[in-house]
Structure 1
């Protein structure tokens, strides 16, 4: 049965490329790690259920859905199969975590799980928690749903303290509500406290390694996530996402060779599985790592390969983000300001994606002798910030405000207003440092504090520039621009 299902998943994927490109999907792994999630359905579906949950733990949502569907077909009374069919539509740590297009189907599947009932209190707990997540309450916001789900999973974990999957899904629920504005990383640390001892006891569980990496994706916790980063690709070597995820920690620690190897493998695997989102995500991290190693030619080749790709689903945020920012990284990291100014927005780009292209044009104009023209881009960024703020997207609104201040700062510098430039970039750096990055990106094209160091060096304040570069390197160790900038500042002080 196992071999038949595996073959079926591959055939389904080949027959339906659109399925492979579903939002946040990461392909069809063949080796998934060790998962044991006992259920009270027909004994014949237990191995298939374990596999389906393993797929879920590696964010392979489309094949996980196929796996849960096959279980439901074999045992129509298996409530947990319908729980799984609903949970594949919950994408924690990504945004949106509850994709609107599939939300109705998730509700119907979870309702079916409730109607069928479950034989054990433990299974009833999982289904009840899922029902809270997908409840049919009008006007309920996504964050209210995920917060209610976290509380429900906390109860499941408390009621079943020795059940590993209850603990793992509770830890993941915590991560789904971790605020990028909380620099104490309270929820991430809570998740780590749950996951780390379990990971030591169960080193082949894909979810434990995967979620440890997400929990530790910060400057403060990155070293704690390195053991998981070293083994996740070995636990599920055929999963494109498992091959990529270690690079989140490698990027935080400035381990560029490791990041390159991780993302080369992930890019190839994602391409083979028709996982365009996973491929582009790996390519962005790959360009970032190559640039930090000074391998501009390798970075250029990745960008050229991306530009040659056709029929992209630019409505998928992660694809649009990577496709937009990769050439911008290349231009601004190499100081090719004319190239940066020529970046064109992607057709039908969302305000968040559009802001990145507008920033590139504005920075390019301000730094290539056209500061007056850069003013229009500052205005556009302010408008996009308001649009995002009005829509309730405070995180990306703040990021867009930072981009606007950066362009305004370089425009001020170019027009002789040095104090204003310094104040704007200082403010931008402080705000950027107060927020964590989203998993969609290895980091901004150039961190604001690194830009501040460059500005201060241009203004002749080498001592302040060196301090800015050093602070930038705490947040992003090993970044080439900050390393070289600190060295230049030190030489200027002699």
Structure 2
């Protein structure tokens, strides 16, 4: 067992090692010997404990282990630099080439390698096969990564990921006591899980493997990381709460490691914890650029941060974060996570505050120095917000214009991702429902809104997002509330809370719905829960003022009321 530390013998300034390895032009190149002696990726001396099979020189072994830990943290550029430095120290170090090939595969991210990067990875696998005397375990690792590349580059990433899963399953079954093979199998197994499988069969299996590893090595980076991904679902999140609390302390200088716990905090509605860790993640991300560009981990952390602030009604803090992101100078790493954040944050800021006119006026071109149009599903977020905002502020003509753009973007997304095209379909139906409602066809509108909510219930959120821009079922509850169907509205708000704990608008909506049918006990419960969620935040939101007034009038602002979960409230 070896705990990863920074090795002073191999320090080099980060920008001189990582930056040359970022582009598709990289082909088996490695840092110079002089650079290797100075290797300093600035990720600190705490990365967790790993156990890799190694037949390289001692100096190269240390770099491979560091690269392996960074690989588990999905810090792919830093890992690649460390693996490359290992092959400079020991050109016959097969695991150095193996590791570089692994860094081009991002199983849980929606960014399959370009054709050039794919061919680089395949060439690295061939190099790993050709180099040095290898143990059986090392050969099994090389065979596992080779399984991803052997069919060649295709537009269907799912097929290569299935091969990747099979390759790591073979390694895992051959060496069942090998915690690294087990970790990579858990990761690959997760990558092939269906978003529509509500039994969570693969997620549960991957999580169980990760938990078994943590019994043996309590600070294993991959086991922490993959367990959080495995349990990042409403019904499973509680299983990862302790793991989430630990992960950020294992690697306190890794942006992604600091962010990952907030996937679980968001699921269970722990907004203070989410704010703390996403602030730390964003700060760390600015210290670790992607070459000469601002890392994707920066806007990604800010999206989760803004979401948490908005659930606490801390609108001033949310706006400050949004403004800082959109005026930040410099180029950003082009990635789906960054693209999502750039459109989601302004949309959330308007829609969560129910500032419909502001949503209708959103600019899809922000920030000006980023190619939003490269990702149609992300661009669609702005037009969903515009369509919904215009409809709910009574401007049907403007809503229809945005709706048509949304439909066009859905057509583009269908060519690249069935998942994201389906997300746009949910948005399209939601926008159509509210346009129809404003046109006076309430029964038809309700049917369309129910269709959107049911479609959403059959899918899961992508790891790139803390939650839907606005949940379709929450929009359904809003419509029922507007129609005076208060008990039905409350049931739908409670359904939202089972999926997304402590959402401000659903807590408030459930309270209002209970109030309207004079169910004082349940109204008080939800309004007190709302006040607990917002804490001591100073806010101008009228919902908070209404909740305070109701609680005061009912003389139940403190004591005498037992909190119940949304499940207990039932429907």
For the criterion TM > 0.5, the same-fold answer is yes
What SS does the aligned partner of 2:91 have? coil
| In 2: Cα distance, 1:457 partner to 1:464 partner | 8
Kindly indicate whether residue 201 of structure 2 is the aligned counterpart of residue 186 of structure 1.
Answer: yes
Task: Write the distance in 1 (CA, Å) between the matches of 2:155 and 2:144.
Answer: 16
2:417 to 385, 390, 393: 393
Matched residue of 1:137: which SS?
A: coil
Structure 1, residues 465-487: CA drift from partner, whole Å, max 9, x if none?
00000001001010000000000
Would you say how many aligned residue pairs link Structure 1 and Structure 2? Answer: 487
**Partners of 1:195 and 1:107 in 2: how far apart?**
28
Which is richer in helix? 1
SS at match of 1:369: coil
Deviates more, 1:133-142 or 1:478-487: 133-142
Residue by residue, what CA displacement relative to the aligned partner does 1:284-340 show, whole Å, maximum 9, x if unpaired?
000000000110111010011011113333732211210111011010111111111
* Aligned position for 2:406: 381
CA deviation profile, 1:403-441 (whole Å, cap 9, x unmatched) = 111111111111111111111111111111111111111
Secondary structure, aligned partner of 1:188: helix
The TM-score, its normalising length taken from structure 1, stands at: 0.94
Q: In structure 1, what is the Cα distance between the partners aligned to 2:446 and 2:513?
A: 17
Q: State the structure with bigger RCO (CA 8 A, min sep 6), 1 or 2.
A: 1
Structure 2 residue ranges without an equivalent (≥5):
26-40, 366-370, 519-571
Summarize deviations over 1:172-202 as a string: whole Å, max 9, x none.
Answer: 1111112212121111111012111211221
Mind listing any 5+ residue stretches in structure 1 that lack a counterpart? none
* Equivalent residue runs for 1:144-159 within 5 Å: 144-159=159-174
2:66 is aligned with 1:66: no
Question: In 2, Cα distance between the equivalents of 1:343 and 1:223?
Answer: 36
Q: How does 1:208-357 map to 2 (within 5 A)?
A: 208-274=223-289, 275-313=294-332, 315-346=334-365, 348-349=372-373, 350-357=375-382
1:448 is matched with 472
Please say if residues 337 and 365 of structure 1, whose CA atoms lie closer than 8 Å, have aligned partners that are also in contact. yes
Counterpart Cα distance in 2 of 1:136 and 1:191: 25
Deviations 1:94-117 (A, max 9, x none): 102434452121111111112226
Q: Does 1:120 align with 2:139?
A: no
Instruction: Answer yes or no: is 1:363 the counterpart of 2:367.
Output: no
The correspondence for 1:480, drawn from 504, 523, 548, is 504
Pairing of 1:19-34 with structure 2 (within 5 A): 19=22, 28-30=42-44, 31-34=46-49
TM-score by length of 2: 0.82
Q: Is the 8 A contact 1:456 1:462 kept in 2?
A: yes
Check the 8 A contact 2:187/2:226 in 1, yes or no. yes
Deviations 1:136-180 (A, max 9, x none): 536573111110111111111011011111111111111111221
Give the number of the structure whose alpha-carbon radius of gyration is greater: 2
In 2, the alpha carbon distance for the partners of 1:321 and 1:281 equals: 8
Label 1:5 to 1:66 Cα distance change in 2 as closer, same or farther (>3 A): farther
Shift in alpha-carbon separation, 1:265–1:392, aligned structure 2, 3 A: closer
| Counterpart check, 1:166 vs 2:181 | yes
State how far apart, in whole Å, the 1-side matches of 2:467 and 2:217 are: 32
The 2-side partners of 1:99 and 1:338 are apart by 40
